[in-house]
Structure 1
Amino acid sequence: MATTDPSPMAEPLQDKKTRNQGKVGPQENGEMFDQKTTRNGNLKGAIVGTKERLVAVLTTGGKENGNIDVDMTGVEKLKRQLKELQVEVVDLRHYRDDVQKIEKERNDLFKALQLSNEKLKQQQELNEKLQLELRDKQHEVMETTKAKEAIETSSQEKIRQLKEQLRSSASVVHQEKAAKEKAWADAVTWRAATERLVEQHSSMEETAREELLHLTERLKELEILCRTVHPLVRKVIINILPC
């Protein structure tokens, strides 16, 4: 009976439960892709090597014993290795599915990152535009403030001038009013004086008229008296009397 050498497997086979304990995160993508390539190569090599060893054992056992008496220990070992390899293939399929899922997640994350970068760029452009608009508004506000201050200064100066003019006009009006009041008082005084003079003149005129009338009566009496006097005296009296 032929003897078989220990199987030179490329790597120790791990228990499925142990291999699937941890979840692979997106940050391990690079390592998982490298491991996938390495493990696929090792698995293919192990399968080919196992098949070759199985054929060699069967062939060697037939030559040594003249029948199909094969070293059962080596066959069982090869069967066990094949089963483990089958389990490894199943695990690799799960691993491949996980890798594909991770690849999809990576692509989704990459697309999301690109979209986020585009949105960030748009936001930056919008921020720059808003900053420009803000600077323009600030400049406009400054110019408006300066213009407002200039208008307020001009208005205050005009108000001051108007107040001065008002005070001057009020002074003139006060002076004119005082002058008018004085003129009116003077007019009243002159009117009163004139009225007194008129009254006095009227009284004097009346007195003079009465005196003239009295004198006229006296002259008439004298004329009558003189008629009885000497003619020469009469002529003298006539020359004295008014016509």
Structure 2
Amino acid sequence: MPKAATRSKAPASITTIDESIDAYLAYVKSNFPAAALRNATAVLSMLKNYLDGDDDGEESAGALCKESVSAAMISRLDRFLRYRLMRELVVSLEQQQCAFFVTFDFCEWLRKKDRLADKEYRQIQALRDELLEMWKKGYEVAETIELSLQRTKPPGRGAEMIEFARHDILKIEGDQIWLEIWFPIILPRERKIGPIDLPKGLAASLQVGWMITCELKKSKSGWRISEIGNIYPSLPFK
């Protein structure tokens, strides 16, 4: 059978990432509610801009959206999900989850349309599984810390405090972590905080460069987490 016949569901004119995104959005519009189309449009618009290098200033991106779907695009998906969205745009947890679903659903659609080679598809599956495992570890650590906080006495009201915000994990040693403070409106005198004790065994599940949303208070023994939100498996800041 001629090669073109294996792609009967996709217009022959679809040869670039840009066109693939447009075709995927047309598929979503025809098969899913309006809310799904809005979500897909928002996520893939950001992905298109990122791959095309329109707003991240990286020359290495080139004009990928003008080229065929390739390993060059695949290699940037991880950075889009774990750096662009988490660190640069600082989107909410719900928006990150939506972006994760849409991005990998788009990749599944590319595979069904024979727009991804076997090797690239396996790389995407491995990336998806790796990210899911990271999310799971981050969630479990945050949940365990929250439970431990319910069993400990918080520092007094007069304790020095760093407001609830996202902070970088700067260093991990044993059951202790060090944080670099980036996001409070008024930065504290200390930008690098630590050591901060975690319940036994939890720190081993984390990685340097991940972000943690928490409130910090200083007691006589040093800084500690007084309230925790989420832990994000982001890429290190640079």
TM-score range, shorter chain: under 0.3
- Structure number with the higher strand fraction is 2
Question: Higher Cα Rg: structure 1 or 2?
Answer: 1
Q: TM-score, normalised by structure 2?
A: 0.18
